[in-house]
């Protein structure tokens, strides 16, 4: 069975501090991994994805994510948070074998001035 | 170019009624997927259409159905509405042939359904 876990419902950070939004997955093989962000009253927007190669993936708005195969994790990071980063973040995993795509439950990030 | 357009954005129905939601994908995108978003369950996959054919289906009852037209526009229908159907319904389109691989999904803003 394939699943995606975002262990934190809520993450609070101060502006200027680094942020991490956690994601772990359980799927056989090497899946494709994605991060999406959702701002209020909007659909999800693509941030970044991991296909293969370098474990550190850089995406939009200064975000990056680190793929860790041994820990089956794909944590989203940003060195310096902005208030405008406050949003709902979703991790997604696609199994290459059956193309099944699953999303995590989401993590609400709040960046305080 | 225009993004994914979903209509209506907001609607209120009562139990037992049915509802039809529409999604117009990005021009050239042939794959359309539907998701249900609720605070407790996150995003749940409903179904995916490509070239007017349903290619994948999530674990939802038969009250949830959809279709895709020759111009790639898609509709989803929910019959005999229940209170638990209240949710944000998101449509996403994809450039490549199917909702597969490393293809990025482009989402619409969603249709928020409230069932009273």
- Helix or strand (DSSP H, E) at A66: strand A64-68
Least Cα distance to B5 among B76, B103, B90, B113 occurs for B90
Measure in Å the smallest separation between the Cα of A71 and chain B Cα atoms.
Answer: 21
pLDDT-based confidence at B56, cuts 50/70/90? confident
Contact in structure between A31 and A50 (CB atoms under 8 Å): no
For B59-107, write each residue's pLDDT tens digit.
Answer: 999 999 999 999 999 999 999 999 999 999 999 998 765 556 678 899 9
The overall average pLDDT reported for chain A is 91
Exposure letters A68-77 (e unless 16+ CB within 10 A, then b): eeeebbbbbe
pLDDT beyond 90 at B2: no
| DSSP letters spanning A27-65 | -SS--EEEEEEE-TTS-EEEEEEE-SS-SEEE-GGG-EE
Cβ count near B98 (within 10 Å): 17
Listing from the earlier edge strand, what are the strands of the sheet with B19-24? B5-7, B19-24, B74-78, B64-68
Contact A104 B42 (CB under 8 A): yes
In this predicted model, what pLDDT tens digit does every residue of A25-54 receive, in sequence order? 998 777 899 999 999 878 899 999 998 888
Q: Beta-carbon neighbour count of residue A88 at 10 Å?
A: 18
Residues in chain A: 113
pLDDT value at residue B41: 77
How far apart are the C-alpha atoms of B108 and B99, rounded to whole Å?
A: 15
Which residues from A are below 8 Å from B92, CB to CB? 43-44
Which DSSP letter does residue B104 get? Answer: P
Q: Which of A103, A90, A91, A88 is nearest to B45 (CA)?
A: A103
Q: Residue A51 is nearest to which of B6, B92, B102, comparing CB atoms?
A: B102
CA–CA–CA angle B105, A22, A81 (5° rounding): 85
Name which residue leads in pLDDT, A54 or B111.
B111
If DSSP codes are grouped into helix, strand and coil, which group holds residue A7?
Answer: coil
CA distance B79 to B63: 5
Task: Provide the terminal-to-terminal Cα distance of chain A, rounded to the nearest Å.
Answer: 41
Between β-strands A10-14 and A107-112, what pairing exists: parallel, antiparallel or unpaired? Answer: parallel
| Residues in chain B, overall count | 116
The partner residues of B90 in beta bridges, in order of sequence, read B35
CA distance A79 to chain B (A): 25
Euclidean distance between CA atoms B85 and B36, whole angstroms: 9
Mean pLDDT across chain B: 91
Q: Give the distance from residue A109's alpha carbon to the nearest chain B alpha carbon, in angstroms.
A: 15
């Amino acid at each position: 069975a394939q699943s995606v876990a975002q262990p934190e419902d809520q993450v609070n950070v101060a502006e200027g501090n680094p942020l991490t939004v956690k994601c772990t997955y359980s799927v056989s093989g090497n899946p494709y991994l994605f991060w999406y962000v959702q701002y209020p009253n909007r659909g999800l927007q693509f941030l970044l994805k991991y296909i293969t190669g370098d474990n550190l993936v850089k995406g939009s708005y200064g975000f990056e994510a680190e793929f860790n195969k041994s820990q089956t994790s794909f944590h989203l990071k940003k060195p310096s948070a902005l208030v405008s980063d406050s949003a709902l973040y979703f991790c997604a995993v696609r199994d290459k074998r059956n193309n099944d795509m699953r999303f995590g439950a989401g993590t609400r990030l709040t960046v305080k001035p | 170019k225009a993004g994914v357009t979903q209509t209506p954005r907001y609607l209120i129905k009562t139990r037992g009624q049915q509802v039809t939601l529409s999604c117009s994908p990005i021009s050239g995108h042939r794959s359309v997927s539907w998701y249900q978003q609720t605070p407790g369950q996150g995003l749940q996959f409903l179904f995916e259409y490509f070239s007017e054919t349903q290619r994948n289906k999530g674990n939802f009852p038969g009250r949830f159905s959809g279709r895709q037209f020759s111009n790639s526009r898609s509709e989803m229908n929910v019959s005999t509405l229940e209170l638990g159907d209240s949710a944000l319904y998101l449509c996403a389109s994809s450039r490549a042939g199917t909702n597969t691989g490393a293809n990025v999904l482009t989402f619409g803003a969603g249709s928020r359904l409230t069932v009273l």
